[in-house]
Amino acid sequence: MSEVLILIQNNFIEASAVIFSVIYVLLAAKKNIFCWYAAIVSVLLYFFICIDAKLYAESGLQLFYLFMAFYGLYSWNKKNETNIISINAKTHIKLILIGLFLTFLLGYYLTIYTSAASPLIDSFTTIFSIMSTFMVAKKILENWIYWIIIDIVSIQLYISRELYLTGLLFLIYSIIAIYGYFTWAKRLNHNAK
């Protein structure tokens, strides 16, 4: 009976994290500052979920997300940082190469020194999520492209850990990221006129 209660409790926590995460991404796609409040709630819930699932890099990522939620709230409140920007291909190539290098370093560490599940995939989603979250806070248009890739990889990661609601969440994230990209691109083009 206690196992059933634990399962219900875990599903409730995961469902709550999913709901706040969807709210965060929808509001971010609409460039609504309240996204950061939803982010704070979702990352606190996901921190404990990831620890329980032995996704240690993802757990650390949740702490980073918490910091970035406060940074994003601060940054989006500043009057001089309200415009969406785009960065060039050369900068993206550098970011991707740095991200891949750090992915392999973290993946190696997690493989050797922890009992982490899927250490390389966990590292990939963690490293690139850190980069992409910073890009959201700075309102860089291409963050959504990074998120689409991260979300698709994350679906497999979470389903492999039997976190099916979270796998579904990342499918929803993928769809919202596509919407976010086109919404931000439209605003960027409108501001450029």
pLDDT attached to residue 146 = 97
**Do 47 and 54 meet the contact criterion of CB atoms below 8 Å apart?**
no
pLDDT at position 4 is 57
Alpha-carbon distance of 84 to 86, in angstroms, equals: 7
φ, ψ for residue 70 (rounded to 5)? -70, -40
Q: What is the pLDDT of residue 193?
A: 61
Task: Give me the torsion for CA of 117, 37, 70, 154, rounded to 10°.
Answer: 20
> Residue 122 burial by CB count (10 A; 0-12/13-18/19+): exposed, middle or buried?
buried
CA distances from 175 to 25, 75, 84, 169 (A): 10, 26, 20, 10
C-alpha span between 17 and 11 (Å, rounded)? 10
- Report the chain's mean pLDDT, rounded to a whole number: 88
- What's residue 34's pLDDT? 93
Closest of 60, 178, 167 to residue 119, by C-alpha: 60
The residue behind tokens 């910073």 is 134
Helices marked H in 114-163? 119-137, 143-160
What are the sequence ranges of the domains in the chain? 2-192
pLDDT of 54-112, one tens digit each?
878 778 889 989 999 999 888 888 755 568 899 999 999 999 999 999 999 999 998 99
